[in-house]
Amino acid sequence: MDKNVVTYMGFESDYQQSCIVLFGVPFDGTTSFRPGTRFASSVMRQESYGLETWSPYLQRDLDDYDFFDGGDLDLPFGNPIRVIDMIHDYSKEVLLDGKKPLMIGGEHLVTLGAIKACHAKYPDMAVIHFDAHADLRDEYMGESMSHASVIRKCHEILEPNNIYQFGIRSGTKEEFEFAKANTYMELFEVNTVKSIVDQIGKQPVYITIDLDVLDPSVFPGTGTPEPGGISFKEIIEAIKSLDTLNIIGADIVELSPNYDQTGISTAAACKVVRELSLVMVEDK
Amino acid sequence: MDKNVVTYMGFESDYQQSCIVLFGVPFDGTTSFRPGTRFASSVMRQESYGLETWSPYLQRDLDDYDFFDGGDLDLPFGNPIRVIDMIHDYSKEVLLDGKKPLMIGGEHLVTLGAIKACHAKYPDMAVIHFDAHADLRDEYMGESMSHASVIRKCHEILEPNNIYQFGIRSGTKEEFEFAKANTYMELFEVNTVKSIVDQIGKQPVYITIDLDVLDPSVFPGTGTPEPGGISFKEIIEAIKSLDTLNIIGADIVELSPNYDQTGISTAAACKVVRELSLVMVEDK
Amino acid sequence: MDKNVVTYMGFESDYQQSCIVLFGVPFDGTTSFRPGTRFASSVMRQESYGLETWSPYLQRDLDDYDFFDGGDLDLPFGNPIRVIDMIHDYSKEVLLDGKKPLMIGGEHLVTLGAIKACHAKYPDMAVIHFDAHADLRDEYMGESMSHASVIRKCHEILEPNNIYQFGIRSGTKEEFEFAKANTYMELFEVNTVKSIVDQIGKQPVYITIDLDVLDPSVFPGTGTPEPGGISFKEIIEAIKSLDTLNIIGADIVELSPNYDQTGISTAAACKVVRELSLVMVEDK
Amino acid sequence: MDKNVVTYMGFESDYQQSCIVLFGVPFDGTTSFRPGTRFASSVMRQESYGLETWSPYLQRDLDDYDFFDGGDLDLPFGNPIRVIDMIHDYSKEVLLDGKKPLMIGGEHLVTLGAIKACHAKYPDMAVIHFDAHADLRDEYMGESMSHASVIRKCHEILEPNNIYQFGIRSGTKEEFEFAKANTYMELFEVNTVKSIVDQIGKQPVYITIDLDVLDPSVFPGTGTPEPGGISFKEIIEAIKSLDTLNIIGADIVELSPNYDQTGISTAAACKVVRELSLVMVEDK
Amino acid sequence: MDKNVVTYMGFESDYQQSCIVLFGVPFDGTTSFRPGTRFASSVMRQESYGLETWSPYLQRDLDDYDFFDGGDLDLPFGNPIRVIDMIHDYSKEVLLDGKKPLMIGGEHLVTLGAIKACHAKYPDMAVIHFDAHADLRDEYMGESMSHASVIRKCHEILEPNNIYQFGIRSGTKEEFEFAKANTYMELFEVNTVKSIVDQIGKQPVYITIDLDVLDPSVFPGTGTPEPGGISFKEIIEAIKSLDTLNIIGADIVELSPNYDQTGISTAAACKVVRELSLVMVEDK
Amino acid sequence: MDKNVVTYMGFESDYQQSCIVLFGVPFDGTTSFRPGTRFASSVMRQESYGLETWSPYLQRDLDDYDFFDGGDLDLPFGNPIRVIDMIHDYSKEVLLDGKKPLMIGGEHLVTLGAIKACHAKYPDMAVIHFDAHADLRDEYMGESMSHASVIRKCHEILEPNNIYQFGIRSGTKEEFEFAKANTYMELFEVNTVKSIVDQIGKQPVYITIDLDVLDPSVFPGTGTPEPGGISFKEIIEAIKSLDTLNIIGADIVELSPNYDQTGISTAAACKVVRELSLVMVEDK
């Protein structure tokens, strides 16, 4: 008898033939407000069952490409540094095998592990960052390893001027000042994505989408909802704009299913992953 | 002593004097994802208590017209064909008495019963269809009688080229190809309703509104939420556009109250019924 | 890379070496009140992660035995007869291979498919039935194939006087009269399980546990909660009483996760499956 | 066409032939903690659909008796005194017509209106009171007309020593001292109901059941849950004990559906009304 | 040891040095539909913890100004007139001390107490009113003291032509007719705020924001959600437009946390208070 | 003006005069299953408003004694060791001042910080532990600092044979074997508390109550609900049994408000703290 296994959108391909490797990271250990992103990847697998493989936006079908769903990492609790190391190691293996990691968080700190691995392979890489929050703190409550400082940590790793932030609408005065000096940041909106994409050209790029960049009306299920965000149509347009880029890896983070009683946030997250997968494939 | 009975918006008119007959169909037997539309009509009756009879959009008042609320049909479970027959018979009686059926679903398959009855009286009728989903499948999981194939079934009954679809944003590649050949379909938006209404003129028209055409932000309470939908203001504008049509019957479907913990979907559904009722009346 | 797959309690054994085959049946098509048992098996898989493999009640450990989790059946919607046939075929294959089916419903009608398959192999079998409801109706809303008539249907298949019902506290006058003539029924309580077990001896027995036999305080997550049920300690004692029986198959049904907002019903269901598995194993 | 109207348990009898008149009082205006009992009667009407008419406890069937469901009173907001007057007037009319009022609250203050009306007809009446709270305050936050003082107000109306309180487990030191001097009170339990019933004999009795006498495990849906209450089986036993009394009216109060997400409190309330109705009928 | 006290956004300033005095009014006694605004101020205090003090909209920081959080008033239940008097007295004291009251409701009726106090000091004051509802009824269910008549009551106190209403989309025909004759009213939108602000100039103004002016998608947590409202970005733009006014007091009302299961309404309310506070400060 | 501050049950006494110091520890950083105990202390403060100060169980009133509520500790995220140190330091200061710490968790790991501080002052102390889980693991997912190993860690600190465990019903085979060799453990029930209390006599004792010792029916709001627990009446009886002990400190842990949608778990937790406070006072 067959095991009738649940994978994201029914991804059935094996590892070898797939160029994109999806994996879940059920970690929310530095979440300061409302925890629960640890449940995101497993809930998304269940709910992606209701999603069509055909994208009317990109006019492409997931069934025409190969994806591997590696399931979730088995993580310790209470030790963020070990968690980031495990993410790093997994991503590194995927990259060594010539594939692209597509990580489902978890909280935003998980991005650090993947970007460390990507940077080792692509030292000249850039990062495109969608988020409601600047995530540029030096430390938070005395801890430097925090979801609130993750882009600051990435900044320390990358070459200067390689971080592009969109949709930001919350942070301390200091973070906004840091951004003025050190990153490209569009406040509130994502109107300039297209022009930044043109500017980046064929440089290797990592995409990190903190889903709270979406307005809480369409994405309530997150730890720190920030009203005044972008619409679903706007994030889809932004993702479509990425289609010409050389994307080397990506993640979506901060879905917190406990705060998504209606399921609409999970539905949005699943569609974002579908569209993001379809701009990451080759031979489009 | 008087029975203090709950009806939709307090509709008190008797059957004979009413030109519009509202009735509920608590059926969700072919729902593939999240069931529960069976509760919609009864919850809407309760919650319509909070709704004003005056429409500031149409500048009309429900109290100036006669509506009859016939309550809910008593349906069997597990037998979709009997259910469609019962809807057909009820609609037929309403139509024979020279009145217009206004059905509250239930899942979208219920539309088939009402359209069969309307088609018997008006063979040249058209259908205007608002929905997130194409509903044009030939069958679903081996069953041809399904919410996912209901418009395809209607297509088989109606004269060719009489189906107009708006707001569609989810389906299989095959459904979109079928639509190109057989229906009018506007993707994502409802911008062309006004021009289609002008084209239809005085042809008899049935209106079917799958409320999931609305964005999940304003209408989370449905079985298969699809982000990227239209706003409430847009559906109201679209309904106002229908005001010149010869509407012979209508339905609204797919409210699922269990997924409407906040009640905003029910509030939206009630207002849609109010506006729809007010474009269906005579002597406006 | 490995797929990190979710199974019930992490059951990892392969089919051949396992003597018990667990499978899910996500079907609630004849549910008359509150639907949603279709989600039970998948939610239980996720939540069983929090459960220890060691039973302090039976002093046994799941890790000392082999279980196979076959995942969920892929079922059509709106066609109960096809669903029962698919359950029958799956159970039949399991039985032919010399193994025991352990089915996770779904609504109670699913039991019919498994009992048909068991009866073909064991014509002298008995059924032990825990439930709040008698389920002895001849038909319900005009349909004979219904969760409310499932034990009546089983009665028609089995040899006379082979149905033992416990915990029953809801039904029509006619059902209770039917029970007096045709089944053994203990009202409200499960105090006589031990003596019935002694009476049955080594006859082949199928166990069907409708979890709504539990009091709604400990098991709220079900379609038709009936206050006045038994406690969790009582169901565990009852299951321990079954340890000497020749159990040929079993099911647990009627967990409806949408009505289990706290998760306690799912936790109870998982523990019931653990204990039931541990009385079904051989070489105890 | 027929209006297919929702009544409690489908009560269809007309007013004249019924000896028991059920009516709802959607009032929670003095609720100090969590409001929402205003929704109880309408939710109970909807949910009573799932309840059998046959009581296996009393071995009686609701269908063998006539009950009238008068619907809900239309009440003002923010004016408790007018509300109590309206309850009084309704109850008075029922009593004048030789029938028994059976009121569905609402908060506990509603009892005052009904008892005033009963006392005018039966000056020697007693009151049997089930509750977690003593409700014997003189005033609450400066207001004497409060749910927390309702039994104290009744005490002022009735002849001395005619109040019997059961299950009480919360109150101020002063309330418990007042009880010692002025009422019969059993703390925590309802073990002495039978002996009090024997003592009362054929004296006219009004029954008021604040459902929070039940343990929050079985009845979470109430404004002020008090752990340590009685079980559902215990309340049913207590109601069965009332079968020999001369009951002239009754109420059940304090179901708050917003805090009953699972629906088990509503299910319990509906069954309590069924059993209470069946001990209030004549010609048993 | 220190008491580690919860205040709105951690407002730590003492009363004397603060020019703005925030206080909560947990009152919902005339709410006609879904009660629960009584919980708003306490929930907002808890949740404001997640909010940054820096406003990227106004480019100001709460930490640069002094605010005093006076906690919640201790109110009676069931007596709206006493409640309004208590609000009046508190506001009066704040105004006498040369400070500005910033009230967190509660239902909309609370505004009456504050406006009475403001009017005594500023007889020529105007009121700017954001709301989905006209609130211009003469009485509601026989009671003139109601959330549905609060602006009508204010109209009776103020000089003529000093009420400006924005975003209104629900009311009786009579209310809209009253508005035509007696107030400035913009239907559905808030596009004319800027021009009205210019017209008002330096006249003393009270701002009352019924948060249900926001669309239910972004603000579901309210008693009477009305689809078709304004977006969060629009309310922020409107508040920024108020920056030149002479604001003497303000309130935000009608957050009902029980209907805000996701927390997004509370998040929006907290940000509205932050922005409103920052336009009310002096020395900007 | 006065700050109207929220404290547990309105505790108003100052630090100096109080012999019991309550404080909250919003930490859930090693929670392996469902996080959220970080919200317990603040929710309990809010909800304790609905609780009477009089205990009918102990016939004592909180108002007759002095308690200090120190609010919540401000903790970092993602660093359990720093958290335990901060708890230790706070407890140490309380103990040095001759007072008793009463800690509101948070997850169970927090107990370690308080017991370290107590042990420094009372090296011969014992621990009475109520819990569903043994918490005797050596490590969990590779981390030794975990809620699942907290009693094992305490065991390493205390003198041998000073740990008494009650109500345990979940753990690994290894934990139960460790218990047999190293602690006193009563499985499932709390029947032997009285005899153990007699045995302990006047030895200094710390009480740690993991509230999941309660059955999920009465206490659903916890991270890992384990059906088959004790009733509320049983925990109250057990606490009353502690009245003769020399209690030097105590905690209650593992309330997770997000999973307590009805509020009954919080209500139970508040009453447990009331009763526990009243057995900890002097001059009873």
Whether chains E and D touch (3+ CB pairs under 8 A) is answered by yes
CA nearest to A154, candidates A191, A115, A98, A198: A115
In angstroms, the CA F205 to CA A212 distance is: 48
Q: How close E80 gets to chain A, by Cα (Å)?
A: 33
- Do residues A159 and A123 lie in contact, with contact meaning Cβ atoms separated by under 8 Å? yes
Q: Check E4 against F72: CB less than 8 A apart.
A: yes
Q: What is the pLDDT of residue B123?
A: 98
What is the per-residue pLDDT for A91? 98
pLDDT for the residue numbered F12:
82
What residues of chain F have any CB closer than 8 angstroms to a CB in chain D?
A: 49-50, 52-54, 56, 61, 215, 217-218, 232-233, 236, 261-264, 267-268, 271
Q: How far apart are the CA of B219 and the nearest CA of chain A, in angstroms?
A: 9
- C-alpha span between C158 and C125 (Å, rounded): 7
* pLDDT tens per residue, range F242-278: 999 999 999 999 999 999 999 999 999 999 999 999 9
Percent of chain F at pLDDT above 90? 90
* Omega within 30 of 0 (cis) for the link into D106: yes
**Is A154's pLDDT higher than 90?**
yes
The pLDDT tens digits of the residues spanning E9-56 come to 888 899 999 999 999 999 999 998 899 999 999 999 999 988 999 999
Tokens matching residue A44: 């998304």
pLDDT of residue C130: 98
Torsion of CA F162, F167, F173, F176, to 10 degrees: 20
Q: Rounded to an integer, what distance in angstroms lies between the CA atom of residue B126 and that of residue B161? A: 8
- Render pLDDT for E107-153 as a digit per residue (tens, 0 to 9): 999 999 999 999 999 999 999 999 999 999 999 888 888 999 999 99
pLDDT at A87 over 80: yes
Inspect the interface and report whether the beta carbons of F42 and E6 lie closer than 8 Å: yes
Neighbours of chain C (3+ CB pairs under 8 A): A, B, D, F
pLDDT the model gives residue A32: 87
- The CA radius of gyration of chain B, in Å to the nearest whole number, is 17
pLDDT > 90? residue F190: yes
Considering only CB atoms, D76 lies closest to which of E38, E79, E141, namely: E141
pLDDT at position F243, please? 97
Residue A69, pLDDT > 80, answer yes
Greatest extent of chain F over all pairs of C-alpha atoms, in Å? 61
* Residues of chain F with C-beta less than 8 angstroms from the C-beta of D224: 50
Cβ contact, residue pair A42, C6, below 8 Å: yes
* Band (F8; pLDDT cuts 50, 70, 90): confident
pLDDT score for D143: 87
Chain C environment of D268 (Cβ under 8 Å):
216, 227
Contact D267/C187, CB-based, under 8 Å? no
Determine how many CB atoms are found less than 10 A away from the CB of residue A238.
Answer: 25
- Mark yes or no for CB contact D3/B4 under 8 Å: no
CB atoms within 10 A of CB D160: 8
Distance (Å, rounded) from C-alpha E25 to C-alpha E32? 18
Residues in chain D closer than 8 A to E80 (CB atoms): 78
On the 0-12 / 13-18 / 19+ scale of CB atoms within 10 A, E153 is buried
Helix axes F80-96, F110-121, angle to 10 degrees: 40
pLDDT at D202 over 80: yes
DSSP H or E segment with residue A118 = helix A110-121
Backbone torsions φ then ψ of B60, nearest 5 degrees: -135, 160
| Cα C152 from Cα C134, distance rounded (Å) | 9
Please tell me which of the candidates A1, A42, A73 has its beta carbon nearest to residue C70.
Answer: A1
Q: How far is F130 from chain D (nearest CA, A)?
A: 18
First-to-last C-alpha distance (Å) of chain B = 36
CB contact under 8 A, A70 and C4: yes
C-beta atoms of E5 and F71 within 8 A? yes
For the cut 80, the answer to whether the pLDDT of residue C1 exceeds it is: no
User: Cα dihedral angle (F262, F268, F273, F275), rounded to 10 degrees?
Assistant: 150
What integer is the mean pLDDT of C150-179?
Answer: 97
CB contact under 8 A, B34 and A215: no
Mean pLDDT of C82-99: 97
Say yes or no for a CB contact (<8 Å) between B268 and E227. Answer: yes
Average pLDDT, rounded, for chain A: 96
CB contact under 8 A, E173 and B218: no
Q: At what angle do helices C232-241 and C264-280 cross, to 10 degrees?
A: 10
Residue C12 has pLDDT above 90, yes or no: no
Segment D2-11 mean pLDDT: 82
pLDDT tens figures, E215-268: 999 999 999 999 999 999 999 999 999 999 999 999 999 999 999 999 999 999
Given a cut of 90, is residue A28 above it in pLDDT? Answer: yes
> How far apart are the C-alpha atoms of C36 and C25, rounded to whole Å?
12
Q: Per the CB < 8 Å rule, is C141 touching B74?
A: yes
Residue C54 bridge partners (DSSP): C61
Q: Give the per-residue pLDDT at B206.
A: 98
- Both tokens of F28, joined, read 């859930």
In angstroms, how far apart are the furthest CA atoms of chain D? 61
pLDDT number for residue D195: 98
Q: Is the pLDDT of residue D2 over 80?
A: no
Going by C-beta distance under 8 Å and a sequence separation of 6 or more, which residues neighbour residue C271?
C51, C232, C236, F226, F227, F228
Give all strands of the β-sheet with B20-24 in edge-to-edge order: B67-72, B20-24, B100-104, B246-253, B204-210, B126-130, B163-168, B184-187
Under 8 Å CB pairs connecting chains B and D tally to: 48
pLDDT, position A49: 82
**pLDDT at residue E283 above 90?**
no
Distance of alpha carbon D152 from alpha carbon D178, whole angstroms: 9
C-alpha distance from B18 to closest chain A C-alpha (Å): 37
The pLDDT of B250-254, averaged and rounded, is: 98
Q: What is the pLDDT of residue C41?
A: 96
pLDDT of residue F240: 98
E4 Cβ neighbours under 8 A, 6+ residues apart: F70, F71, F72, F73, F74
Could you give the C-alpha distances from B17 to A272, B67, B97, C194, in angstroms and in order? Answer: 52, 8, 11, 66
- Verify whether the Cβ–Cβ distance B3 to D71 is below 8 Å: yes
Average pLDDT over residues E59-71: 95
> pLDDT for F132-158, tens place per residue?
999 999 998 888 889 999 999 999 999
Residue-wise pLDDT tens digits, D216-257: 999 999 999 999 999 999 999 999 999 999 999 999 999 999
- Quick check: do E and C touch, 3+ CB pairs under 8 A? no
User: What value does the mean pLDDT take over residues A249-273?
Assistant: 97
Closest CA to E128 of E22, E216, E187, E210: E210
A188·E56 Cβ contact <8 A: yes
C48 Cβ partners below 8 Å, 6+ apart?
A: C8, C9, C10, C270, C273
Q: Angle, to 10 degrees, between the axis of helix C40-47 and the axis of helix C264-280?
A: 90
Q: Which residues is C246 bridged to in the sheet?
A: C204
What percentage of chain C exceeds 70 in pLDDT?
Answer: 100
pLDDT band at C60, cuts 50/70/90? very high
State pLDDT tens for residues A131-150: 999 999 999 888 888 999 99
Longest alpha-carbon distance in chain C = 61
The mean of the pLDDT values for chain E is: 96
For residues B67 and B11, the answer to whether their CB atoms sit within 8 Å is: yes
| pLDDT tens per residue, range A38-58 | 999 999 999 998 799 999 999
Looking at CA atoms only, how far is residue E55 from chain B in angstroms?
25
Band the pLDDT of C6: cuts 50, 70, 90.
confident
What DSSP string describes D81-103?
HHHHHHHHHHHHHHHHTT-EEEE
Mean of pLDDT over chain F: 96
Residue in chain C lying closest to B36 (CA)? C35
What are E175-208's pLDDT values in tens digits?
999 999 999 999 999 999 999 999 999 999 999 9
Given a cut of 90, whether residue F217 has pLDDT beyond it is: yes
Rounded distance between C-alpha atoms, residue D257 and residue B153, angstroms: 41
Q: Which residues of D touch E29 (CB under 8 A)?
A: 29, 77-78
Tokens of F151: 């009693």
pLDDT in the model for residue E245? 98
Among C116, C108, C157, C160, which residue's Cα sits nearest to residue C132?
A: C108
Q: D21: pLDDT confidence band, cut at 50, 70 and 90?
A: very high
Among C2-11, C72-81, C233-242, whose mean pLDDT is lowest?
A: C2-11
Q: Which residue of F has its CA nearest to E4?
A: F71
Q: D28 pLDDT band (50/70/90 cuts)?
A: very high
Q: Please state, for a pLDDT cut of 70, what percent of chain F lies above it.
A: 100
Q: pLDDT value at position F66?
A: 95
Q: How far apart are CA A113 and CA B254, in angstroms?
A: 43
Instruction: Examine the pLDDT at B1 and tell me if it is beyond 80.
Output: no
In whole angstroms, give the CA distance from residue A108 to residue A27. 9
What are C135-149's pLDDT values in tens digits? 999 998 888 889 999
For residue B178, name the pLDDT band (cuts at 50, 70, 90): very high
Q: Which H, E and C letters describe chain C, residue by residue?
A: CCCECCCHHHCCCCCCCCCEEEEECCCCCCCCCCCCHHHHHHHHHHHHHHCCCEECCCCEEHHHCCEEEEEECCCCCCCHHHHHHHHHHHHHHHHHCCCEEEEECCCCCHHHHHHHHHHHHCCCCEEEEECCECCCCCCECCECCCHHHHHHHHHHHCCCCCEEEEEECECCHHHHHHHHHHCEEEECCCCCHHHHHHHHCCCEEEEEEEHHHECCCCCCCCCCCCCCCECHHHHHHHHHHHHHCEEEEEEEECCCHHHCCCCHHHHHHHHHHHHHHHHHCCCC
Sign of CA dihedral A251, A252, A253, A258: negative
Amino acid at D139: E
Residues on D contacting F at a C-beta cutoff of 8 Å: 32-34, 168-173, 176, 187-188, 215-218, 220-221, 224-228, 259-262
Query: What digits encode the pLDDT tens for the residues D121-171?
Result: 999 999 999 999 999 999 888 888 899 999 999 999 999 999 999 999 999
Q: Which two tokens stand for residue E106?
A: 């509660």
Nearest to B87 by CA among B214, B253, B257: B253
Q: What is the mean pLDDT of residues A187-196?
A: 98
